[in-house]
Amino acid sequence: MHDRKREILTDVQKKQMDQKIAVYKGLCGECTELRRRCDFSDGAEKKVEKLLMVNPEFYTMWNYKKETLLHRVEHDRPLVLGSGCVEGVGATREMVTWKWVERELAFNAQVIEKRDIKSYCTWHHRKWLLEKIGDAAVLSQQLRTEKALAEQLLDAEDRNFHCWGYRAWVVAQLRNLGLYTDGDEMAHARKRIEANFSNYSAYHARAKILGALPKEAGAARVEKVKEEVELVKNAFYTEPTDQSGWMYATWLANLTGSAEPVSAVLEAARELHDDDPTLKWPLLASTLDPKCNKTELLEQLCAQDKNRAGYYRDAMGGCVGNYA
Amino acid sequence: MQTGPIDFAKHVRLSEAILFGALSPQKYDPNRMVLLYFALATVSVAGKVTALAEEKVRGIIEWIYAQQVPEAEGGGFRSTHTMGGVGLEEGHATMTQCALLSLIICGDDLARVDKKAVATHLRKVQAENGCFRSLSYGESDVRMMYSACVTCHLLDLWDSIDKEAAIQYLVSCQSYDGGFGWHPGSEGHGGNTFCCLASLALLGALDRVDTARAEKFLVMRATAHGFNGRPNKDADTCYTYWVGTSLALLQRHKGAEGFVPVDAGLLGFVAECQDAAKGGIAKDQATGTDLLHTALSLMGLRNLQLVDSCPPLDLRLGCLAEAVPV
């Protein structure tokens, strides 16, 4: 429903559109009937794939694909490869399953890459496919491939939550296999941040790990947070009007209860404020200072961050907690 | 009626054209029930449902009930008749929600809903982790959680689900910045924040999360020209609803009435995203209009009391409060 360009169609374009719709409707009718008849043949599948390339949101057709795969595995139907050699003679069910899954993953990737990178049911189908892989070695190899796919797509669109979410699921599976660590996760997020200091999704990934550090780690934990503040400061200085870094940093400052991270953030806020007193986020961050004149700062915020003046007035009246 | 620069009449005409034209039979749309709801919601928030021809409204009601799935096939409602037939498609969590809301908007009392079948559907789609799937082998995330909670509320089916598991799942979706993600551990996002807060409100469990922090996340979505859904993203008119209604809900939860402490220039932003010729509202000025953005922009404006086009909506449900059968 999102992202169709606003345009006025000419008569010729309208006719072409009508033709496309007629073809699409015909295909829908055919595929619906094929499924009704439980047709799990190659011919049927070709039509379904054609339909999914046009409309990947047609979740029923992804379910039909699931049923098709399960049917093929159930009937131990090997995937016949080009040269006439029948793969799977003497093969285990796991091997047969994997061949079909592999083929399906390739088709699904085409839909994501060529048609719609934001289709929920398309991404879900990928997870379903991976859950069918029985062989541990094959699974860990494929998970690595999946991670690479998600990262390649994030290179193009670094806030896409489908990609972030899918990648998070994949690395959780790798973690369960002992093949992925917090260090790996921090490194990936850092790479994203260094490419774009406003990448809030990458800060989020780091927040999950830092937030989970046990309090018992004591000074080591504080050190990690201080280092993180230094990293985020790049965001403040690169683009002081972007709230991403500030939202993350103010949370970081309060995470450990130690005064040092707070001072580091306040210092940056003071510097940027001196440079330009109209900047909102340094003002807001300055309210973290236990010695500050909160009312005065909030008054300034009412003036500089007019959209949220009502919120700051609520804060002055004491009926908003935790607004920094 | 205070409507300012919003051309309700045009949006209603567009919705009617779709309701009685493009949305009528022969359309293979897996999201048809959702589109039906958005078209009806647009007419409803404009205060114009009673102006629709009675036999047309009855036609819609009959069509919706025809999408009801028998208990033996899973219960609930499917998206459209072309998806039906024995063993073809079970009830879908979001289609069920939209069917019920659409019936309510049309003035139906839900008496013909097979509650036992819907209960079966809900039990089938609730996952072990407490969240809900769209279909029994569909994806699960907080959108379907919200759909299930609306359904439970409207039909009083809370006993069919594991409420505590649902609440715990929702609690675990709150991110460090106060926003809620679509899965536990996911980035805070305006749309998912609404789904979680509204679900918690329906579950009577808003106190289980940090509502102050949620409010802060939402307040930070305001730009000078519309709400965005996440930090450093562009404004989009649909967040008028997701973020705006969430803020209104939290105000209500605090005991405050009406005043929402943020100004995002919404009337102007939404007005600019209208299609002056054809009616309808788009996500921004460069994109084509669609029913989702039309309905959500208008309902959002009403919930924020920036227009006064109809009686109050139920903030948790997305329909007139007075239309909900007792």
* DSSP string for B116-153: HHHHHHHHHHB-TTS-BBSSTTS-BSHHHHHHHHHHHH
- Which pLDDT belongs to residue A13? 85
Q: Which residue of A has its CA nearest to B35?
A: A1
Residues 6+ apart with CB under 8 A from B102: B33, B36, B37, B40, B60, B64
Among partner residues A57, A63, A198, which is closest to B232 by beta-carbon distance? A198
Residues 6+ apart with CB under 8 A from B136: B74, B90, B124, B125
Among partner residues A3, A211, A320, which is closest to B176 by beta-carbon distance? A211
Residue B102 has what DSSP assignment?
A: H
- Which pLDDT belongs to residue A319? 67
Among partner residues A6, A32, A321, which is closest to B286 by beta-carbon distance? A6
Does A200 lie at the interface with B, CB-CB under 8 angstroms? yes
Q: Determine the residue among B78, B92, B137, B187 to mutate to test chain A binding: the one whose Cβ has the most chain A Cβ atoms within 10 Å.
A: B187
Specify whether the backbone of B310 is left (phi greater than 0), alpha (psi in -120 to 50) or beta.
Answer: beta
Which residues in B3-34 are b (16+ Cβ under 10 Å) and which e? beebbbebbbbbbbebbeeebeeeebbbbbbb
Strand-pairing partners, residue A5, are B287
- Which pLDDT belongs to residue B86? 44
Q: How far is CA B24 from CA A181, A259, A275, in A?
A: 53, 64, 61
- Which pLDDT belongs to residue B88? 57
Kindly determine whether residue B26 and residue A25, on different chains, have CB atoms separated by under 8 Å.
yes
Amino acid sitting at position B28: Y
Hey, what are B86's tokens?
Answer: 């024995």
Among partner residues A5, A120, A313, which is closest to B287 by beta-carbon distance? A5
Are the C-beta atoms of residues A166 and A172 closer than 8 Å to each other? no
Q: Which residue of B has its CA nearest to A314?
A: B261
**Contact pairs from chain A to chain B, CB under 8 Å:** 149
Q: Report residue B87's pLDDT band, with 50, 70 and 90 as the boundaries.
A: very low
Kindly determine whether residue A63 and residue B135, on different chains, have CB atoms separated by under 8 Å.
yes
- Is the pLDDT at B24 greater than 60? The verdict is no
Kindly determine whether residue B134 and residue A59, on different chains, have CB atoms separated by under 8 Å.
yes
Q: Which residue of A has its CA nearest to B139?
A: A124
Does A37 lie at the interface with B, CB-CB under 8 angstroms? no
From chain A, pick out residues whose CB is under 8 angstroms from the CB of B183: 165, 168
Q: Determine the residue among A4, A5, A6, A241 to mutate to test chain B binding: the one whose Cβ has the most chain B Cβ atoms within 10 Å.
A: A6
Residue A256 has what DSSP assignment?
A: S
Q: State the nearest Cα–Cα gap between A82 and chain B, in angstroms.
A: 32
Among partner residues B212, B220, B222, which is closest to A320 by beta-carbon distance? B212
From chain A, pick out residues whose CB is under 8 angstroms from the CB of B286: 5-6
Q: Centre a 10 Å sphere on the Cβ of residue A35 and count the other Cβ atoms it contains.
A: 22
- Which pLDDT belongs to residue B133? 97
Kindly determine whether residue A207 and residue B176, on different chains, have CB atoms separated by under 8 Å.
yes
Residue B33 has what DSSP assignment?
A: H
Kindly determine whether residue B138 and residue A124, on different chains, have CB atoms separated by under 8 Å.
yes
Tallying the residues shown for chain A, one arrives at 324
- Which pLDDT belongs to residue A8? 74
- Which pLDDT belongs to residue A25? 86
Kindly determine whether residue B177 and residue A251, on different chains, have CB atoms separated by under 8 Å.
yes
Could you say which residues from 180 to 209 on chain B have a Cβ atom under 8 Å away from some Cβ of chain A? 181-183, 185-189
Residues 6+ apart with CB under 8 A from B166: B126, B130, B131, B132, B145, B148, B149, B199, B203
Are the C-beta atoms of residues B208 and B198 closer than 8 Å to each other? no
CA B298/CA A273 separation, integer angstroms: 39
Complex ipTM value: 0.93
Strand, helix or coil for residue B306: coil
Does B124 lie at the interface with A, CB-CB under 8 angstroms? no
Tens digit of pLDDT per residue, chain A (324 long)? 456 666 777 888 888 888 888 888 889 889 989 998 999 999 999 999 999 999 999 998 999 999 999 999 888 666 655 444 455 455 678 888 999 999 999 999 999 999 999 999 999 999 999 999 999 999 999 999 999 999 999 999 999 999 999 999 999 999 999 999 999 999 999 999 999 999 999 999 999 999 999 999 899 999 999 999 999 999 999 999 999 999 999 999 999 999 999 999 999 999 999 999 999 999 999 999 999 999 999 999 999 999 999 999 988 887 666 666
Does A140 lie at the interface with B, CB-CB under 8 angstroms? no
Q: Determine the residue among B177, B272, B296 to mutate to test chain A binding: the one whose Cβ has the most chain A Cβ atoms within 10 Å.
A: B177
- Which pLDDT belongs to residue A22? 86
Query: What mean pLDDT do residues B212-237 have?
Result: 96
